[in-house]
Structure formats: C-alpha cells, structure tokens
Amino acid sequence: MKIHLIANMYPSKEAPSYGVFVKNTEKILESAGFEIDKTVLTKSNSKINKLVGYGVYFSKIVLKGLFNRYDYTYVHYAAHNSLPLLVLKKLKKNVKIVTNVHGSDVVPEVPSQEKFQPYVKQLLEKSSKIITPSQYYKDLVIEKYKVNTPIEIFPSGGVNKSVFHKKENKRELFKEYGLVDDVRYIGFVSRIDVGKGWDILLDAISLLKKENSLHNVKFVIVGDGKQRDEFDKKMKDLGIEEDIKRFSLLPQPALSDIYNCIEAFAFPTVRKGESLGLVGLEAMACGAPVIGSAMGGILDYVEDGRNGLLFSPGSSEELAMKIKEYFLLDEADQEKMKKEAVSKANEYEVENIKPMLISVFK
C-alpha cells in the first residue's frame, strides 16, 4: 500500500521538535510495511521563504496527487492544506483522503485562521476518514461540522518510550541543567503564545511567593514564542525572576531530562483547541504528574487526585492552590501519584497505539 503523507509541519535539524508527531506517524506506517511518499514543509523564520515554500508545497500536493498512484492521501492539519486538496479532489475524484485534524484546525486561535473554516468543513466532508487525537476532539468535530465521515481516534503519534521514561541519574541531571539539589521543581513546557497559560502560571508563582508557603519550590520553564517579550516583562514586573530557571527550545532527549528533574508538570492551557496535550503525557511517562486545566484533551488522561490534579481553566489562584495541595501530600501519596502517571502514559506508548493508526488504512 502506498500513502502520500502531507504536512506543513515536519521536523528538521534546526527545529527537531517541530511537527515531530507527523514523523512519528510516518515511522508507524513504515513499520507496518506501507510505502510512504511525503510532501512536507519544515520550519522557516523568513516570510519570503515561507511564501515561496508554500507555493512549491501546494503545487507538489496537486501535481503528485494527479500523476502518482496512491492508495491514500494522508494529511496533517486540515486548515493549511484544505485548498490544494480540494483542488486535487475536484480534478481527481477517486482520491481517498484521510484527514488528521489538530488544534487550531477546528478551533482557530487568531482571527486570520477563521477564513479557512469553510474549506476545513468541505475537506472533512470529502475525506474518506477523519482522525482526531482524543475523544474530546472527536466530539468537537461532530458538534461543529455535523459531518457523516467516519472518525477514528489516534493520539498524535503517541509517547516515544525510548526517549520519555524514568531515569535514575537525577543528581547528574540537576548538575547538567544548573538546578539546585535541595530545591523541588515544577515544570512548564510550551510555546509562549496566546492561550497557552504562561501568564496564569506566572501569576500563580507570584501568589505562592507572596504567601511564602513553599520555601524550597521553584519552576523550570521551557519554551519560546510570539509572546516572549510579554513573558519577560510580566516575569520582571512580578519580581519572580529568581524563582524561574529558563530554557528557550530544547530537543526531545533534553525535555525528557527536564521531566525527570521536576516533581510535577503545570499545564495551565485555556485553549479550547487543546486536542490532546502530548507534552503532558510525555511528562507523565517520566514520572511527573500533571497539574492541569480541567478542559480539552487533558481530560482524556488526567484523573484528578489519582495521576494528577485538575483546576478551573484560567484560575491562577486555583493553580497555586493545587501546587500547594500536591506538596502537602505525604511522600507515599506523591509516589503513588507518580506511578499512576507513568501507568496512564504507558497506555499511549507508541507500540500500544500503533494498531489504532494502522487499522485506519487497512
């Protein structure tokens, strides 16, 4: 079976984490014996390069679809790829499209993304199958588009256990990343962008500092994005720079190290389009329970009080309270929560979810 894999996000040497789940799906399909021909875009910071890149990319999607024989055309991200695929479908009606929707496909994050919504609906209607990362997102797609296309669930490539797992060399990792031995850390890994909750976390850190209730707790924050300047200003205005260890962008093996250094993972998103939240599962695989917003795909895997803690989306006060609640647990209860986190993450491990994706095409 030959599959044409299409994605406008794909990892490169310069941006190894950019669209890494697309590469993970490619590996899964190849391991099942499928022949993969891919048309993808890697990250570019130049507007001119982006414009030219998309022009070439869209042309390849249409031309390769017209003149090559594929059993399926498998596309990640409906919004950005809908136009060339709709053109292809009009020119070649027997093309079988499997559309994997993510995040802003269904819930646009900025007004400029709204214009794609009519085309997303058309693409989903013309697809042979739709793939969503979670039950939450499946329900959202059905509610919004009222499509009759069959919908399958596949959790965004899954957790790569060869990278994300518990490690025993915590003291060495602390030294490597400049962390303090007698301090306990809460982690946060995300783009510093609208809706990701970085501002909620900073307010929660400020509240905890004012209360002076957690003397030996600090925070590790990994990420960069369009709101980096706003982040830096807010952090300075709140006077919490000394409470935060910052990293910009890290490759996946380094992220695994960070997850092994933290006690818990803060996930304060307010995005309705949080279709799964793979970073939360990757942190859990390393033994870090999630303290997360009670919304979106997070609810598919975080059970309050069992493998993590949940709080009302947007509430920095509740986030601060839940962080305190976690550290007030006795050591045995914390260890039990960590073990439950690892156990739940194992359900999403690549080998365990492989059959879900392979069955879509077989």
pLDDT of residue 217: 96
The one-character DSSP state at 105 is: G
From the CA atom positions of the chain, what is the Rg in Å? 21
Enter the pTM of the model: 0.89
How many other C-beta atoms are found inside a 10 Å radius of the C-beta of residue 5?
Answer: 25
Instruction: Report the b/e string of 67-97 with b at 16+ CB within 10 A.
Output: eeebebbbbbbbbbbbbbbeebbeeeeebeb
Q: What's the confidence (pLDDT) of residue 132?
A: 97
| 187 touches 283 (CB < 8 A) | yes
More reliable by pLDDT, 214 or 50: 50
pLDDT, mean over the chain: 95
Residue 316 identity (one-letter amino acid):
S
Q: How confident is the model at residue 201 (pLDDT cuts 50, 70, 90)?
A: very high
- β 151-153/184-189 pair status: unpaired
Q: What is the pLDDT of residues 255-302, one digit of tens each?
A: 999 999 999 999 999 999 999 999 999 999 999 999 999 999 999 999
The structural architecture, per CATH, of the domain 170-346 is 3-Layer(aba) Sandwich (3.40)
What residues form DSSP beta bridges with 100? 76, 131
The confidence score (pLDDT) of residue 51 equals 94
Class of domain 2-154: alpha beta
User: Which has the closest alpha carbon to 83: 45, 41, 104, 54?
Assistant: 54
Whether the predicted pLDDT of 167 surpasses 80: yes
> Exposed, middle or buried: residue 215 (CB in 10 Å: 0-12, 13-18, 19+)?
exposed
Query: Is residue 185 scored above 80 in pLDDT?
Result: yes
Fold match flag (2-154 vs 170-346)? yes
183, 217 contact by CB (below 8 A): yes
Sign of the Cα torsion 18, 71, 144, 61 reads: positive
- Using N-to-C axis directions, what is the helix angle for 316-328 and 198-211, rounded to 10°? 60
The per-residue pLDDT for range 109-120, each reduced to its tens digit, is: 778 789 999 999
pLDDT average, residue stretch 23-33: 94
Amino acid 113: pLDDT: 82
∠ CA 117-123-124 to the nearest 5 degrees?
90
Give the domain ranges of the chain.
Answer: 2-154, 170-346
**H-helix or E-strand spanning residue 232:** helix 228-238
Q: Is residue 202 pLDDT above 80, yes or no?
A: yes
Write the burial class of residue 175 (CB in 10 Å: 0-12 exposed, 13-18 middle, 19+ buried): exposed
